[in-house]
Every structure is written in structure tokens, then in C-alpha cells.
């Protein structure tokens, strides 16, 4: 997991702080945004800078537009990040919509470190330019 680039898009500062701490503990580089628009801009800018995010943690209820739209937009980019929904919503129909929009994993709030570890364990391996497989 070390060295993976992650983005947290969450408008609750307490949850962001906790998730950032957990990801840093696991050795990831972490950036955060508190709106969907800011998150999508960061994803796009990272791709343009040839330093794309490997994984994005996305809340569904964001202040500017729904996390579902952020998921759909981020998943359509290339390379698309591995997208983990982090939410208090527990409606399967919403989960299905997220999966269809391109989300890869779902973590219910409140979450524990192990939930984040499991989500990251299921990420597809990432090939580095040197051909090394990490993650």
C-alpha cells in the first residue's frame, strides 16, 4: 500500500481527519477535498500532471453535487481511480447505482481501520513504469 496516492472527498471534517489518519498509518499519500467539485478538479489535475490518484474515497452526500455524480465523472477518466464509497447510506438501490456508475467498493460509516484495509486489499495491483507490481 505504501506510496499509493489517495484522495478523500468528504464534507465532515471529523470523518476526513479520521480517514486521513488511517490512510497515512497504512502508508498512503493522502489529499482531501470537502466538495465534489473540488474533488473532481483534483482528480482531473492529478491526471494532467501524470500523477493520478490510485484510490478515491467518496462520500455520497456532498454540499455541491451528489457523490454519485463525482463517481460517474471520475470513473470515466483515464486512468480511473479505484473508487471506494464511504457513506452512512445503507440502501442497496443506491449501492447498485454507485456500482453502475463505476464505484469499486463500499464502506459503511462508522468504519474501522480494518474496513479500509480490506477495501484496499481488493484494489487491482498497480503496475509501475518499471514494471514492478505494487499494492
In the complex, which residues of this chain contact other proteins (CB under 8 A)? 90, 92-93, 95-96, 98-99, 103-106, 108, 114, 117-118, 121-122
Instruction: Work out how close the CB of 94 gets to other proteins at its nearest, in angstroms, rounded to a whole number.
Output: 8
Q: Which is nearer to other proteins, 20 or 119 (CB)?
A: 119
Q: Which is nearer to other proteins, 21 or 117 (CB)?
A: 117
Instruction: Work out how close the CB of 113 gets to other proteins at its nearest, in angstroms, rounded to a whole number.
Output: 10
Instruction: Work out how close the CB of 53 gets to other proteins at its nearest, in angstroms, rounded to a whole number.
Output: 20
Q: Which is nearer to other proteins, 57 or 105 (CB)?
A: 105
Q: Name the residue with cell 484494489.
A: 123
Instruction: Work out how close the CB of 64 gets to other proteins at its nearest, in angstroms, rounded to a whole number.
Output: 25
- Measured CA to CA in angstroms, residue 78 lies from 46, 50, 68, 86, 121 at distances of 11, 11, 18, 22, 22
The residue count of the chain comes to 135
CA dihedral 74, 105, 27, 25 (to 10 degrees): 120
3-state secondary structure of 107: strand
Q: Which is nearer to other proteins, 108 or 128 (CB)?
A: 108
Q: At 61, phi and psi to the nearest 5?
A: -100, 95
- Given a contact cutoff of 8 angstroms between Cβ atoms, the answer to whether 68 and 87 are in contact is no
Amino acid at each position: 500500500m505504501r506510496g499509493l496516492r489517495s484522495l478523500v472527498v468528504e464534507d465532515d471534517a471529523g470523518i476526513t481527519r479520521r480517514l486521513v489518519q488511517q490512510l497515512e498509518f497504512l502508508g498512503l499519500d493522502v489529499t482531501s477535498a470537502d466538495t465534489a467539485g473540488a474533488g473532481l478538479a483534483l482528480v482531473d489535475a492529478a491526471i494532467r500532471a501524470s500523477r493520478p490518484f490510485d484510490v478515491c474515497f467518496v462520500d455520497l452526500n456532498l454540499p455541491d453535487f451528489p457523490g454519485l455524480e463525482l463517481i460517474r465523472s471520475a470513473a470515466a477518466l483515464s486512468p480511473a481511480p479505484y473508487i471506494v464509497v464511504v457513506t452512512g447510506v445503507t440502501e442497496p438501490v443506491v449501492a447498485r447505482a454507485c456500482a453502475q456508475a463505476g464505484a469499486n467498493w463500499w464502506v459503511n460509516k462508522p468504519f474501522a481501520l480494518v474496513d479500509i484495509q480490506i477495501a484496499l486489499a481488493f484494489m487491482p495491483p498497480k503496475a509501475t513504469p518499471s514494471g514492478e507490481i505494487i499494492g
